[in-house]
Structure formats: structure tokens, C-alpha cells
Homo-oligomer: A and B are copies of this chain.
Amino acid sequence: MDGIRLGLVGLGKIARDQHLPAIAATPGIALAGIASRHAGLPDLPSFATLEELLASGTPIDAVALCTPPQGRHALAAQALAAGKHVLLEKPPGATLAEIGPLQEMARERGLTLFATWHSRFAPAVEPLRERLAGQRIRALLIQWKEDVRVWHPGQEWIWEPGGLGVFDPGINALSILTRILPFPVFLTEAALSFPANRAAPIAAALRFGAGQGGDLRAEFDWRQTGPQSWDIHLETGAERFTLSRGGARLERNGELLLEAPEAEYRGIYRHFVDLIQAGACDVDLSPMIHVADAFMLGRRITVEAFHEA
């Protein structure tokens, strides 16, 4: 085989903005088919559903699921049952419990299941992780604040149960946090702000505990206009770090250490190719566990109704 033949399911904003260019740029994998209710791509076999794509006989080895999380389990189970490797956009599903059976199916069939966390592939994440190894963190402040109207236009599913609301971007920060910290943290307090007319939060304030102590907090907000912030501030004993632009830029004590162009989804597809070649899976649920904990432990506050236009 020349390379992995990929079926892409869901041709929405994230698929067009990120997946298509990343797949085109990644050696060892090539787009071979599309399943999307509303769209297709010229020169590629395109079908309304994954079921039709699989039934069509279009040769594919793997499937990337870029649909909303609420229906992802059924699609992943369908793809694994058909013997295809599976890449899951984040979050890997609408519940934690639905991932276990998928892992079991992948293992039984010798297939790759990859629960992606794109922010972990930002260029400054691994360098910061290495600098934090073995260190105590005195203070942590995540500020993940963006304009939902800009980043999620018309995405009704994101406001529905299972869509996660502001935790959809927030989980990106948590995926970085759970990668870089040299110790586990757990939520101790949370306040979730729900618009009066929506089923998902528009903002969240989180406080974490850890065996080592420290003042560990996160602020997620979807009402940010003007400059957008995807920043993580950390203080160890002697150093202050700022990871900004979602992980593309790292400062230490106010001095620039690293800044590199965004290429997260290329990292994802490179890793997917490696996993398939190695016959391995990569499913880390820790970012989603923090989100589920926030919904379970969080106090709800009702705020102003949200209207898109």
C-alpha cells in the first residue's frame, strides 16, 4: 500500500480550516472519500453518510471523525466494526463511558483509535513540559477567552447538551495542562455561567487542587471581543512562564523563548500515521475527565441570554 487511504466524516468548519490542509501536507496518508450530509469535494467519492461511504466499496483504511461529539460514538463504532482505523476530533465523545467500548473494539480488531487533542501539538507545549519536569508550581492561571460568534458561527450543536459550550475551547487548555504539569490536579471548585436560553455554559471559573498545593485557576469565557486570549501563566519558585497564542509562543520571565507558526493538525496526522504503522492506540481521557468534573461539581449561574446575531 502506498499510504493510508482516509475517509473524512463531517465537512464543517474544522474539517475545512484544519483537517483538509493538514492531510494534504502529511506524507503517508491521503484523502480517499468524504461523508457529509451537506457537502462533498470535487474529484473525490462523496457520500451523505459514513454508512454509504463504507458500503460504496471506496477503498479506505482509516476514518477521521470531524462531526459534533454528540453522534460520534455511533460513527466510530461503525468504522471500527468495518475494520477501519479511527481518528476522533476532540472531545472524543459526548460522555466518558462511551469511549471504553470503542477502545475495546479497537483492541479486539488490532485497529488504531486516536483521541486527538490538537492543542497538545502546538510548538511550545513540549518545550514547556520539559522545563516544568519535577518542579513545584506556585501559581497557575489559564485565561482562555474568545468570541464565540467568530469561532463557532451557526454551530447550534455546541450549545446543546453534550456540545460542552465554552468547554469546547476550554478543553484545549485542559489538554495542554494535563500534558505539561508534572503532577495530577483535580477540580476543587467551579462556577459555570449558563445563558438563560442555552443548555451549555458561556463562561466558567475553575479552581484546582494538587498534592503540592499552589494557587491553580482557570477562566474560560466566550464573550471576549477585541483581542482574544489563549494563555497559560505559570509560576514556579524562580521562573514565570507564559504560554500564549494557544501554545505557539513561550515566554520565560518576560523574555521570548520560542515562537513558531501554528501546525497542530499536521502534528495530529503525523502521529496518526505513526500510530497506525506501530499498531498502537492513543486515548487519553484526562482533559475530558476535568470537564465532566466541572459539570458535576460546578455551581450554575444563569446569565444574560445569548443570541448569535
Shortest C-beta distance, A102 to chain B (Å), equals 10
Number of interface residues of A (CB under 8 A): 38
Q: Are A162 and B297 in contact (CB under 8 A)?
A: yes
Can you tell how many copies of this chain the complex includes? Answer: 2
Q: A199-B300, A299-B161, A300-B199 are in contact. Are A186 and B293 (CB under 8 A)?
A: no
Is A30 positioned at the interface, with any CB of B under 8 Å from its CB? no
Residues from chain B with Cβ under 8 Å of A286 in the complex: 97
Whether A296 pairs with B292 at a CB distance below 8 angstroms is yes
A91, chain B: closest CB distance, angstroms: 10
Of A98, A190, A286, most B-chain CB atoms within 10 Å: A98
Cα-based distance from A188 to B72 in the complex (angstroms): 11
Give, as a whole number of angstroms, the nearest-CB distance from A88 to chain B: 15
**A132 to B: closest C-beta gap in Å:** 17
Q: Which residues of B contact A199 (CB under 8 A)?
A: 299-300
A96 within 8 A of B: yes
In the complex, are the beta carbons of A184 and B95 less than 8 A apart? no
- A96 close to B161 (CB less than 8 A): no
Q: Is the CB of A289 within 8 A of B96?
A: yes
B296/A291 in contact, CB under 8 A: yes
Q: Does A101 have its Cβ within 8 Å of any Cβ on chain B? A: yes
Given contacts A162-B297, A291-B296, 18 further A-B contacts (CB under 8 A): A95-B296, A95-B297, A96-B96, A96-B293, A97-B184, A97-B185, A97-B289, A97-B290, A98-B209, A100-B186, A101-B183, A161-B298, A161-B299, A199-B300, A289-B292, A292-B292, A292-B293, A292-B296
